[in-house]
């Protein structure tokens, strides 16, 4: 009978922000050895490293050189500067970044094995994440490393997909609409409520139900409200309430127009 050895790759985390923190803890709990954390900020590197029991560094030239996989979770704007120095540490390892809008080609010419490990989720250090529900989108420059990344991501999630850099751009912009823009609407909602002595918590059941509906209906079918009904009386009343908030009023008007036109075109 053949004995199967558990797959537990060793990992170095490049970054100690929201994404790196959650990935590091998840892979650590899955049995992977996190060999080191790198961050430009000593305090953030120390906090993450201590939470998963590994050393840390703020010196990119002192990165551990024996890991199987190097996972880069840094601001897009620093990648061009960091990656050429990073890859010098281990010519045999697999290097991946976690950015939604950065092409796999950023690695080209720097190292022989490279790819992308993109988790589709919003991450905050203060919030626990159930990775079993997180969708990962995988890309690598060889089929062998694509399969290796799928195997790696499968240690912490059941939802693994292959996606090209071009496809990932649309994942990222779609996530901005679904997450970042939606959350900004919550911020405006909180501002309007608290400015008039009302609690934002009153909106939470509505927010929860709105999110739950699109598990069962298409977003177009789930759309309700005055813009969807083309109810100009209510919309004009709303705009009058926003007469002292011109930027919010303009946003209300433009989004309402877009909802109406979008609904009409989808019929």
Residues 65 and 195 in one domain: no
Assigned token pair, 113: 């094995």
The domain boundary, picked from 109, 138, 163, lies at 163
Provide the domain limits for residue 177: 170-266
Where is 139: in which H helix or E strand?
strand 135-140
Rg of the chain over CA atoms, in angstroms?
Answer: 23
Where is 13: in which H helix or E strand?
strand 10-14
The domain boundary, picked from 163, 183, 201, lies at 163
The domain boundary, picked from 163, 197, 226, lies at 163
Asked if the structure places residue 3 within a domain, the reply is no
pLDDT tens over the chain, length 267 residues: 344 468 999 999 999 999 999 999 999 999 999 999 999 999 999 999 999 999 999 999 999 999 999 999 999 999 999 999 999 999 999 999 999 999 999 999 999 999 999 999 988 888 888 999 999 999 999 999 999 999 999 999 999 999 999 999 999 999 999 999 999 999 999 999 999 999 999 999 999 999 999 999 999 999 999 999 999 999 999 999 999 999 999 999 999 999 999 877 776
Residues 77 and 111 in one domain: yes
Contact 205, 144 (CB under 8 A): no
Asked if the structure places residue 1 within a domain, the reply is no
| Domain of residue 231, CATH code | 1.10.1040.20
Beta bridge partners of 155: none
Beta bridge partners of 37: 13, 56
Residues 144 and 178 in one domain: no
Beta bridge partners of 14: 38, 72
- Angular region, 111: left φ>0, alpha ψ -120 to 50, beta rest: beta
Helix%, strand%, coil% for the chain, nearest 5: 55, 15, 35
The total number of structural domains that make up the chain: 2
pLDDT of residue 4: 44
Residues 142 and 18 in one domain: yes
Alpha helices by DSSP H, 2-88: 18-29, 42-52, 79-86
Residues 46 and 157 in one domain: yes
């Amino acid at each position: 009978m053949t004995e199967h050895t558990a797959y537990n790759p060793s990992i170095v985390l490049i970054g100690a922000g929201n994404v790196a923190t959650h990935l590091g803890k998840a892979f650590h709990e899955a049995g992977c050895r996190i060999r080191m954390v790198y961050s430009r900020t000593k305090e953030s590197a120390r906090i993450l490293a201590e939470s998963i029991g590994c050393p840390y560094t703020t010196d990119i030239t002192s990165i551990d050189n024996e890991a199987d996989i190097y996972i880069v979770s840094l601001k897009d704007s620093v990648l061009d500067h960091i990656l050429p120095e990073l890859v010098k540490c281990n010519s045999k390892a697999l290097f991946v970044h976690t950015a939604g809008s950065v092409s796999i080609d950023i690695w080209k010419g720097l190292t022989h094995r490279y790819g992308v490990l993109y988790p589709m989720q919003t991450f905050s250090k203060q919030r626990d994440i159930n990775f079993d529900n997180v969708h990962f989108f995988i890309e690598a420059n060889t089929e062998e490393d694509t399969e290796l990344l799928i195997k790696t991501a499968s240690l912490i999630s059941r939802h693994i997909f292959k996606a090209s850099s071009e496809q990932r751009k649309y994942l990222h912009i779609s996530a901005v609409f679904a997450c970042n823009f939606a959350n900004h609407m919550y911020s405006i909602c909180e501002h309007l409520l608290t400015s008039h002595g009302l609690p934002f918590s009153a909106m939470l059941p509505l927010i929860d139900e709105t999110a739950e509906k699109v598990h069962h209906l298409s977003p177009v079918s789930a759309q309700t409200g005055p813009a969807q009904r083309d109810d100009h009386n209510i919309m004009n009343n709303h705009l009058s309430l926003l007469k002292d908030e011109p930027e919010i009023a303009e946003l209300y008007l433009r989004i309402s127009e877009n909802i109406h036109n979008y609904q009409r075109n989808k019929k």
